[in-house]
Amino acid sequence: MPISRLLSSSCRTCCRVLCVFVLTALAAPLHLAQAAEPKAAPASVNRLLAEEAVSSLSSGIRYRFGSTNPDRGLDCSAFVGYLFKEAVGEDLPRTAKEISDMGKHVGLNDMEPGDLVFFGKGKRHVSHVGIYVGGKKFIHASRKHGAVYESGLNEPYWQKHFSGARRLTTTLPRS
């Protein structure tokens, strides 16, 4: 076979490979851009958490100090952590005090459903956590009631022991 014919065959093959490569390279960003587009805007963390809290009222979850097993019962921080994991797929620290260091501070008049409310003997002694659901109400695992329960922030006990509120995000920055 003459060299000129071999070169022209080799050039044609090279051109074909180059064309396939260029077309693939041009099509890939289009494919990736289409795949990266979200199908729907993600729901807010707060809304999901508030919905989970309201649903939990009829779940039959009992209160059990120190327990992290929903079948055996949950304490307040395990309850909030369990619902947060169900709502957004992320873990929270184990205790109410540790959770109170997460997210951003929210003023009493700026709270939205899904914000976390904390109680104790001052800000340094947080010992209880619940999920605010609006209307000055919050849902928590209540030792007194032995189950998940809805209480009012206007009740004298909760007013006296209110330590603050926090709003969580899925990245959970410490403040």
Which position among 76, 105, 125, 161 bears the catalytic label? Answer: 76
Q: Can you tell me the distance from the alpha carbon of 141 to that of 129, in angstroms, rounded to the nearest whole number?
A: 9
Q: How far is CA 94 from the centre of its chain?
A: 15
Which position among 14, 19, 128, 145 bears the catalytic label? Answer: 128
- Tell me if residue 128 is catalytic: yes
Q: Can you tell me the distance from the alpha carbon of 138 to that of 149, in angstroms, rounded to the nearest whole number?
A: 8
Which position among 11, 140, 145, 161 bears the catalytic label? Answer: 140
Please say whether the beta carbons of 149 and 136 come within 8 A: no
- Tell me if residue 11 is catalytic: no
Angle at 132 between CA 130 and CA 133, to 5 degrees: 130
How many other β-carbons are positioned within 10 Å of the β-carbon of residue 130? 28
- Tell me if residue 105 is catalytic: no
- The catalytic residues are 76, 128, 140
